[in-house]
Amino acid sequence: MKVKNWSDNYTSCSESMAGNGGVMRITDLLDKRSVMLGAAPSDKKQTLEQAVALMAKSGKIADEEAYKRQVFAREEESTTGIGEGIAIPHGKCDAVTKPGLAAMVIPNGVDFESLDDEPVTLLFLIAAPNTKDNVHLDVLSKLSVMLMDEEFTAKLRAAKSVDEFMQIVDDADSEKAGIDERLKTDEGKVSKILAVTSCPTGIAHTYMAAEGLEKAASKAGCTIKIETRGSGGAKNVLTNQEIADADCIIVAADAKVPMERFDGKHVIQCQVSDGISKADELIERALKQDAPIFKAGNHTEETVQSKGKKDGFAHRIYMQLMNGVSHMLPFVVGGGILIAIAFLIDGQSVDINLLSAAERANFGTITPAAAFFKGIGDVAFGLMLPVLAGFIAEAIADRPGLALGFVGGMIAANGKSGFLGALAAGFLAGYVILLLKKICDKLPESLEKLAPVLFYPVFGILIMGAAMNFVVEPVMGAINTGLNSGLASMSGTSKVLLGFILGAMMSVDMGGPFNKAAYVFGTASIVAGNYDIMAAVMIGGMVPPCAIALATIIFKDKFTKEERQSGPVNFIMGLAFITEGAIPYAASDPLHVLPACIIGAGISGALSEVFNCTLMAPHGGIFVFPVVGNALMYLVALVIGTTVSTVLLGLFKKKIA
**Catalytic sites, residue numbers:** 90, 199
CA distance 392 to 414: 19
Q: How many residues does the chain have?
A: 657
User: Positive or negative CA dihedral for 354, 358, 363, 369?
Assistant: negative
Q: Are 163 and 56 in contact (CB under 8 A)?
A: no
Report the relative pairing of strands 224-230 and 233-235 from DSSP bridges: antiparallel
**Whether the Cβ atoms of residue 454 and residue 398 lie closer than 8 Å to each other:** no
Identify the CA nearest to 209 among candidates 290, 144, 285, 258.
144
Burial (CB count <10 Å: 0-12, 13-18, 19+), residue 66: middle
Q: Return d(Cα 469, Cα 467) in angstroms, integer.
A: 6
Contact 59, 96 (CB under 8 A): no
The 3-state DSSP class for residue 414 equals helix
Q: How far is CA 500 from the centre of its chain?
A: 33
Pairs from 516-522 (Cβ < 8 Å, separation ≥ 24): 516/416, 516/418, 516/480, 517/479, 517/480, 517/483, 517/484, 517/487, 518/483, 518/487, 519/618, 520/484, 521/484, 521/487, 521/488, 522/618
